[in-house]
A and B are shown apart, each in its own frame.
Chain A
Amino acid sequence: MKLDLHVHTCLSPCADLLMVPDVVKDFSEKLDALGIADHNSAKNVRAFSRVKEIVVPGLEIQTVEDVHLLCFFTKIENALKVTEIVYEHLPKIRHDHERAGYQLLVNEKGEYTGYEDHPLNMPTDLTLKEVVELVVKNGGFPVYAHAERRFGVLFQLGFFPELEVYVAEVVSEEGKILAEKAGLRAIVASDAHRPEEIGKRYIEISCEGKRIEKIFESILRGEYRLGGVCPWLG
């Protein structure tokens, strides 16, 4: 099963407005499963839940240390519950869509249903530890986003702290080596903000069945291989 776990939608202010369900569906034909993870919000996940047979609900939370943490759930409800808590911890300012990028809510047909006015491009006031605890408490599965790049845990902190996070998305061979040295499973994903980026990197999992729990069990056991544009794989 080919899975690209890190895909943004038109809800993320930095993503292309074309990241609507039909377009994401068209551009992910070669994949079997997608993870939808917008910045600090899972409010568009439901609209995208039928673009693939398997869509993993998620969000990418920005901690007070400016670390991006991907948080995945088996149920949309849990992702939405965590979203509400995240919203309470974002700065109390109204997002400027014109200047900082549109944050658009859509329905399954890709029709814009509204603006999200919480500033999703801003950090929460929650520490990385607090976010990990929040996610785990709500049955979620945390993954360090682009660990060795800007807003990644290694870039921001310089090391992998001892937390209940066992998987890291990496973007380079160096990141892969560092993650594995720290005892983490290293995966890749596209972090797509534009349609043509979807599936640029993905993992191919040997996984029985289609339940999201099983997918994460397979990742934890290392039963996957990296795919897509990973030049360091040779």
Chain B
Amino acid sequence: MKIREIAEKLGLKHVCGNLDEEVKYGFTCDLLSEVLGRAKPGTLWITVQTHVNIVAVATVVGIKGIVLCNGHEYDKETVEKAVQSGIVLLKSEENSFLVSGKIYELGLR
């Protein structure tokens, strides 16, 4: 599924990145080590972490996009790195549970 479809259906705010990237999986977690160890390539990652290191983790794992929940803001440096690394950044005012549930309903696993 294209990230664009998810972003539009959930009304996520697009911060940067190519919305035509394809994702197959979702992963909801705020611990970087868990994401590093368990998330799969082609994942959309749902988190409340904003630090630039999330881009490094996403790059290593092969995560295509990140959805930041609870209305948090990405650090400026995080956005800069994401642009360089081609990681899609999205934002939601809702909490991780609600966002994850809606993304699950759309078909990501």
Which residues on A are within 8 Å of B, measured CB to CB? 14, 64-66, 91, 93, 96, 99-100, 119, 121-125, 150-151
Contact = CB atoms under 8 A, between A and B. Distances in A.
A150 B49 CA distance: 8
Interface in B44-58: 49-53, 56-57
Contacts of B18: none
A100 B51 contact: no
Interface string B33-70: 10011000000000001111100110110000000000
Interface of B: 30-33, 36-37, 49-53, 56-57, 59-60, 84-85
A99 B81 CA distance: 8
A196 to B, nearest CB: 17
Given A99-B85, A151-B51, A93 B32 contact: no
- Chain A interface, DSSP helix/strand/loop, else mixed: loop
B53 A64 contact: no
A99 B36 contact: no
A124 B36 CA distance: 11
B72 to A, nearest CB: 11
B31 A65 contact: yes
Contact of A122 (B51, B56, B84): B56
Nearest to B52: A14
Contact of B57 (A14, A64, A122, A151): A122
A101 to B, nearest CB: 8
In this complex, which of B31, B33, B59 has the most chain A Cβ atoms within 10 angstroms of its Cβ?
B33
B56 A121 contact: yes
Given A99-B84, A150-B51, A123 B56 contact: no
Nearest to B32: A123
B36 to A, nearest CB: 5
Contacts of B36: 91, 122-123
Contacts of B32: 66, 122-123
A65 B31 CA distance: 6
A121 B59 CA distance: 13
A119 B32 CA distance: 13
A123 B36 CA distance: 9
A99 B59 contact: yes
Given A91-B36, A122-B36, A66 B31 contact: yes
17 contacts: A14-B52, A66-B30, A66-B31, A66-B32, A99-B56, A99-B59, A99-B85, A119-B60, A122-B32, A122-B33, A122-B53, A122-B56, A122-B60, A123-B31, A125-B33, A150-B50, A150-B51
Given A66-B33, A96-B59, A121-B56, 4 more contacts: A122-B53, A125-B33, A150-B50, A150-B51
Nearest to A93: B60
A66 B52 CA distance: 13
Contact of B56 (A64, A100, A125, A151): A100
Contacts of A93: 60
B58 to A, nearest CB: 11
A99 B52 CA distance: 12
A123 B51 contact: no
A83 to B, nearest CB: 19
B78 to A, nearest CB: 10
